[in-house]
Structure 1
Amino acid sequence: MLKPMLNGAAAMAWLACALFFLRFWVQSKDRLFGFFALAFTMLGGNAVVAALMDTDDERRHYIYVVRLFAFLLILYAIWDKNRAGRRGAG
């Protein structure tokens, strides 16, 4: 019973972060904030699915694939932001 509750709290935290970055994306239209909001939304949905899945489910490893894509999206957002800054300086 404790594990689903902790996953729910993690989902709430991920989605709060997503709303935080979504607000900045709406104000600035900077792609970095949009990518971060999308990645944190993916991580929040991932925590909800983890809370709803049984611990003995064989498909549980697919959760980690979604996490991988979310973290790769964050890395791409940082790379894209640095690449854009270099183009503007040159």
Structure 2
Amino acid sequence: MTGQEGLVAGALSAGFLVLAAFFLRFWGRTRDGLFLAFSAAFALMAVNQALPVVLRIAQEDRGGIYLIRLAAFLLIIVAVVGKNLKRDPEG
């Protein structure tokens, strides 16, 4: 892995962590589980970007790392579907 790849992965990880903090702040205000799910998903995306650099995993051996990304996307899908399936008790 080149230094440039590590720099880009670090920048992406930092960006994902900023997004995670952003959604965590909204969750603190509203206590809406969707914001918490988005925060956790972006934290998983940050781990997904940082882990290959930290563990020095070669490009060919990164297949398992992408399961973390899959978990993040599944978390978002489940949260959105769960939010949409909630029924208003008054409606």
Q: TM-score, normalised by structure 2?
A: 0.88
Residue matched to 1:45: 47
Give 1:45 deviation, angstroms.
1.1
Q: Can you give the 5+ residue segments of structure 2 that lack an aligned partner in the other structure?
A: none
Residue matched to 2:77: 75
Residue matched to 1:21: 23
Give 1:61 deviation, angstroms.
1.1
| CA distances 1:26-62 after superposition (whole Å, capped 9, x unpaired) | 110000000000110111111110222232563x211
Task: Report the AA paired with residue 46 of structure 1.
Answer: N
Residue matched to 1:54: 57
In 1: Cα distance, 2:73 partner to 2:59 partner: 25
Aligned length: 87
Runs of 4+ in 1 over 6 A off after TM superposition: none
More helix by share: 1
Aligned-residue RMSD, C-alpha: 1.4
Check whether the contact 1:5–1:51 (CA below 8 A) recurs between aligned residues: no
Task: Report the AA paired with residue 57 of structure 2.
Answer: D
Q: Can you give the 5+ residue segments of structure 1 that lack an aligned partner in the other structure?
A: none
CA distance 1:56–1:38, change in 2 (3 Å): closer
In 1: Cα distance, 2:48 partner to 2:59 partner: 17
